Amino acid sequence: MAKKTAYMGMLVALAFIFSYIESLIPINVGIPGIKIGLANMVTIVTLYTIGVVPAVVLSLVRIVLTGFTFGNLAMMMYSLGGGMLSLLVMVIARKTKLFSITGVSVLGAVFHNIGQIIVAAIVVENSSLFYYLPVLLVSGVVFGVVIGMVGAVLVKRLSGFIQKQDIF
Amino acid sequence: MKKNDVIMIGIIVVIALVALCLVNLYGKWNTKDAQAVVTIDGTEYGRYPLSEDRTVKIESENNGYNLLIIEKGDARIEEASCPDKICVRHKPIDKTGETLVCLPNKVVVEIENGEEADVDASTN
Amino acid sequence: MKKKYQALILGIVVIIFAGILLWHGKNTTKTERFEAQFTDVFDTVTNIIGYGESQETFTRQVSELKEQFDYYNQLYDIYNDYDGVNNIKTINDNAGKEPVKVAPEIIDLLKLGKEAYVETNGQVNIAYGSVLSLWHDYREAGLNSPTKAELPPMEEIEAKAAHTDINQLIIDEEASTVYLADAEMSLDVGSIGKGYAVQKVADYAKAHNMNHLLISAGGNVCVVGAKEDGEGWSVGVQNPDLSSDKEYVQKVKLQDMSIVTSGNYQRYYEVAGKRYCHIIDPDTMMPAEHMASVSVIMKDSGKADAMSTALFNMDYEEGKALVESMDGVEAMWILEDGSIQYSSGFSKYLEK
| pLDDT tens digit sequence for C148-188 | 899 999 999 999 999 999 999 999 999 999 999 999 999 99
pLDDT-derived band of residue C3, with 50, 70 and 90 as boundaries? low
| Chain B residues with CB within 8 Å of chain A CB | 1-2, 4-5, 8-9, 12-13, 15-17, 19-20, 23, 27
Angle between helices B3-30 and A101-124 (to 10 degrees): 20
- Kind and range of the H or E run holding C177: strand C177-180
* Residues of chain C by 3-state class (helix, strand, coil), percent to 5: 40, 25, 35
Q: How far is A144 from chain C (nearest CA, A)?
A: 10
Q: Is a pLDDT exceeding 60 seen at residue C112?
A: yes
Domain range list for chain C: 1-30, 31-54+194-349, 88-180
Residue A25 C-beta-side C-alpha neighbours within 13 Å: 12
Q: Beta-carbon neighbour count of residue B23 at 10 Å?
A: 17
Residue A137 contacts C where some CB pair is shorter than 8 Å: no
Q: Would you tell me which residues 85-124 of chain B have a C-beta closer than 8 angstroms to some C-beta of chain C?
A: 86, 89-91, 97, 99, 101, 103, 106, 108, 110, 118-124
State the pLDDT at residue A125.
Answer: 57
Quick check: C252 and C234 in contact, CB under 8 A?
Answer: yes
Mean pLDDT of C343-349: 94
Residue C30 has a pLDDT of: 52
Tell me the CATH class for B35-112.
mainly beta
User: Which pLDDT belongs to residue C163?
Assistant: 95
Cα B53 to Cα B56, B68, C285, C341: the distances in Å are 10, 11, 47, 41
Mean pLDDT over residues C32-49, rounded?
Answer: 88
Helix A38-49 to helix A133-165 angle, to the nearest 10 degrees? 40
Q: Which domain holds residue A14?
A: 2-165
Enclosing H/E stretch for C220: strand C220-224
Question: What pLDDT does C13 receive?
Answer: 54
pLDDT value of position C29: 46
Instruction: Judge whether residue C28 has pLDDT over 50.
Output: no
What is chain B's pLDDT, residue by residue, as a tens digit (124 residues)? 678 888 999 999 998 888 888 877 765 555 557 888 898 887 888 888 888 888 989 988 888 899 999 988 889 999 888 877 888 888 888 888 788 888 888 888 988 887 777 788 888 8
Instruction: Work out the average pLDDT over A64-73.
Output: 79
Query: Span C84-88, mean pLDDT?
Result: 94
Which of A100, A135, A138 lies nearest to residue B1, judging by beta carbons? Answer: A100
| CA angle centred on A135, ends A131 and A141, rounded to 5° | 140
Q: What is the mean pLDDT of chain C?
A: 89
The strand pair at C233-238 and B121-123 is best described as: parallel
Q: Which chains touch C (3 or more CB pairs under 8 A)?
A: A, B
pLDDT digits (tens, 9 = 90+) for A31-61: 566 778 888 899 999 998 888 888 888 998 8
CA distance A48 to A150: 13
ipTM: 0.78
CATH 3.40.50.150 fits C88-180, yes or no: no
Which residue in chain B is spatially nearest to C144 when comparing CA positions?
A: B83
Say whether B28 sits in a helix, a strand or coil: helix
Which of C13, C38, C261 lies nearest to residue B124, judging by beta carbons? C261
Share of chain C above pLDDT 90, in %: 72
pLDDT score, position C158: 95
What is the pLDDT at residue B29? Answer: 56
B101·C259 Cβ contact <8 A: no
Nearest to B13 by CA among A139, A80, A27: A139
A130: CATH? 1.10.1760.20
Q: What is the pLDDT of residue C1?
A: 46
Half-sphere exposure of A85 toward its Cβ, with a 13 Å CA cutoff? 18
Q: How far apart are CA C33 and CA C63, in angstroms?
A: 16
Task: Give the domain ranges of chain B.
Answer: 1-31, 35-112
Distance CA B71, CA C268 (A): 29
Beta bridge partners of C317: none
For C31-54+194-349, which CATH superfamily applies?
ApbE-like domains (3.10.520.10)
A131/B23 CB distance under 8 A = yes
Please state the rounded mean pLDDT for residues C304-318.
Answer: 95
Distances (CA, A) of A64 to A9, A12, C237: 15, 11, 61
Query: How many distinct structural domains can be found in chain A?
Result: 1
- Sheet of strand C32-41: strand arrangement: C32-41, C44-52, C213-217, C220-224, C258-263, C293-298, C330-334, C340-342
Same fold, C31-54+194-349 and C88-180: no
User: Rounded distance, CA B40 to CA B32, Å?
Assistant: 23
B83 touches chain C (CB under 8 A): yes
Q: Taking a contact as any Cβ pair under 8 Å apart, which residues of chain A between 46 and 105 contact chain C?
A: none
Q: How many CB pairs under 8 A join A and B?
A: 50
**Closest approach of chain C CAs to the CA of B42, in angstroms?**
7
User: What pairing do the DSSP bridges indicate for beta strands C233-238 and C248-254?
Assistant: antiparallel
Does the CA dihedral C317-C318-C320-C324 come out positive or negative? Answer: positive
Q: By the CB < 8 Å criterion, does B13 face chain C? A: yes
Chain B, chain C: beta-carbon pairs less than 8 Å apart: 98
The predicted structure's pLDDT at residue A27: 60
For residue B6, the Cα-to-chain-centroid distance in whole angstroms is 47
Parallel, antiparallel, or unpaired: how do β-strands C258-263 and C268-271 relate?
unpaired
Amino acid B91: pLDDT: 82
Predicted confidence (pLDDT) per residue in C185-215, tens digit: 999 998 899 999 999 999 999 999 899 999 9
Q: What's the rounded Cα separation, in Å, for the pair A14 and A117? A: 26
Q: Where are the alpha helices (DSSP H) in chain C?
A: 2-29, 55-75, 88-93, 104-119, 129-144, 154-161, 193-207, 301-312, 316-325
HSE on the CB side for C167, CA within 13 Å?
2
Highest mean pLDDT among A28-32, A129-133, B60-64, C248-252 belongs to C248-252
